[in-house]
Amino acid sequence: MASLKDIKTRIGSTKKTKQITKAMEMVSAAKLNRAQSNAEAFQPYTDKIREVVSSIAAGTEDVSHPMLKEREQVKKTGYIVITSDRGLCGAYNSGLLRETMKLINERHKSTDEYGLIVIGRVGRDFFKKRNMPIFQEIIGLPDQPDYTDIKSIASTTVEMFDDELFDEVYIHYNHFVSAISQRVTESKLLPLTSIGEEAEASAPKLDYIYEPDAETILEQLLPHYAESLIFGALLDGKASEFGARMSAMRSATDNADSRIGELTLKYNRARQAAITQEINEIVGGAAAQS
């Protein structure tokens, strides 16, 4: 049975842990608000590029672009996986990595059929331990990233598709639903078939005037649009990360409160038992002398 001193020490250490988790919860809540604002502010920019590209593609029948067409044979698939650099965020990383591994194992028979582009230290370490092919990696991104922070990896990914190193590219990330809910999401980045489908399904809503020609405009806009999708997924993933960490730290704080209550009750009972024993010893000693 633990002594009073041991129980008191455990109560003290649990209270210190609670202070840490409570502080982390508050910090994550503040970062979440800003990350959510960044993600929401960037979305209209992506929507506008999609609108312009769809309008040009729909209004010009004789213009096409390799980024808009499915390739007849998919020899190699690229996966952009967005994880965090740190843990203590519940199932944010584990759920995403588990789903990614499941899809890779279902779709591919060997490592020659796919390649990984990893954002985040947790994902990088996970795939390295399993000797999986990592083509690019980026770690140490700030909590509120700028477009310039991922410009290199985004543009290189588009170049890999243009050079036919990859025949298709998917993004895996956690989509922000709410502060307590994140959904593992896979979206197809390349080819940009959604643009082509939108262009074929509907006439252009706006009549844009552009120069020098539609083909040149698409040549410039499509790679930039693909890069903006990567950045948008990163912002969404950051908001999900802070939401998951805030929820995890809140649960840890609640558990610490519960544990402190249990230990305090145990301490009071042990102290009461010790006092009762001392009284009995005193009474017994007095009785023996009389």
The residue-averaged pLDDT of 200-226 equals 71
Alpha helices in the chain (DSSP H): 4-59, 92-107, 121-129, 147-162, 193-201, 214-289
Least confident of 131-145, 212-226, 230-244: 212-226
Band of residue 48 on the pLDDT scale cut at 50, 70, 90: confident
| 125 is a catalytic site residue | no
Whole-number Å distance between alpha carbons of 120 and 85 = 5
Does residue 169 sit in helix, strand or coil? strand
| Residue 38 C-beta-side C-alpha neighbours within 13 Å | 22
Out of 49, 52, 89, 160, pick the active-site residue: 89
Taking domain 26-247, whether its CATH number is 3.40.1380.10 is answered by: yes
pLDDT exceeds cutoff 80 at 199 = no
Question: What is the DSSP pairing of strand 181-190 with strand 168-178?
Answer: antiparallel
DSSP string, 30-52: HHHHHHHHHHHHHHHHHHHHHHH
For residue 70, give both structure tokens. Answer: 């499915």
| pLDDT for 4 | 83
208: left (phi over 0), alpha (psi -120 to 50) or beta: beta
| pLDDT for 204 | 47
Task: Look at the block and give the residue holding tokens 């290189």.
Answer: 156
> Which carries the bigger pLDDT value, residue 68 or residue 228?
228
Question: Cβ contacts of residue 94 below 8 Å, gap of 6+?
Answer: none
Does residue 109 sit in helix, strand or coil? coil
Whole-number Å distance between alpha carbons of 27 and 248 = 13
**Amino acid (one-letter) located at 155:** S
| pLDDT for 290 | 62
Q: How many residues does the chain have?
A: 290
Band of residue 207 on the pLDDT scale cut at 50, 70, 90: low
Domain spans, the chain? 26-247
pTM of the model: 0.86
Least confident of 59-63, 74-78, 103-107, 151-155: 59-63
